[in-house]
Chains A and B, each alone.
Chain A
Amino acid sequence: MGIKVAKTANEAFAEGMRQINPDVVAAYPITPATEIVQIFSQFVADGLVKTEFIQVESEHSALSACIGASAAGARTMTGTSSQGLAYMWEMLYIASGLRLPIIMAVVNRTLSSPINIHCDHSDTFGARDSGWIQIYSENVQETYDNLIQGVRIAEHPEVRLPCMIMTDGFILSHCLETMEMLTDEEVRDFVDEPPERENLIKAAVENKPITIGALDLPDYYFEHKRQQAEGMKNALRVIPEISKEFGNRFGRYYGFVENYRIEDADIGIVVIGSTAGTGKEVVDNLRKKGIKAGLLKIRVLRPLPVEDIKNSLKNLKVVGIMERVEGMNAFCSPLYSEISSCLYDLEKRPILTNFVYGLGGRDVKIKDIEIVFNDLLKILERGKKEFTLKYIGVRE
Chain B
Amino acid sequence: MEKKLTWKELPIGDILEGGSSLKFKTGNWRSKIPVHIPEKCINCFICWISCPDDAIIVDAEKGKWSSFNYDYCKGCGICAYECPKKAIEMREEIEK
Contacts and interface: CB of A to CB of B under 8 A. Distances in A.
Interface stretch (B7-15, B34-42, B52-60, B78-86): B7-15
A99 B14 CA distance: 8
Contacts of A213: 14
Interface string A203-229: 000001111111110011011101110
B56 to A, nearest CB: 23
Contacts of A199: 11-12, 15-16
A210 B15 contact: yes
Given A209-B19, A210-B18, A211-B19, A97 B13 contact: yes
B12 A214 contact: no
Contacts of A216: 14
A220 B4 CA distance: 8
Given A219-B4, A223-B6, A99 B18 contact: no
A239 to B, nearest CB: 19
Contact count band on B: 10 to 19
Nearest to A229: B7
A192 interface: no
A210 B10 CA distance: 15
A242 interface: no
A323 B17 CA distance: 45
A105 interface: no
Contact of B12 (A99, A211, A219, A220): A99
A230 B11 CA distance: 14
A179 to B, nearest CB: 35
A208 B18 contact: yes
Nearest to A100: B13
Contacts of B8: 227
> Is chain A's binding surface mostly helix, strand, loop or mixed?
mixed
Contacts of B7: 222-224, 226-227, 230
A214 B10 contact: no
Contacts of A219: 4
Contacts of A209: 17-19
A200 B21 CA distance: 19
A365 to B, nearest CB: 46
A94 to B, nearest CB: 10
B10 A224 contact: yes
Contact of A224 (B4, B13, B21): B13
A227 B12 contact: yes
A223 B11 contact: no
B10 to A, nearest CB: 5
Given A202-B17, A211-B15, A223-B10, 6 more contacts: A210-B16, A215-B21, A220-B4, A223-B6, A224-B13, A227-B8
29 contacts: A98-B13, A98-B14, A99-B13, A100-B13, A199-B11, A199-B15, A200-B15, A202-B17, A208-B17, A209-B17, A209-B19, A210-B16, A210-B17, A211-B17, A211-B19, A211-B20, A212-B14, A213-B14, A214-B16, A219-B4, A220-B4, A220-B5, A222-B7, A223-B5, A223-B7, A224-B13, A226-B7, A227-B7, A227-B8
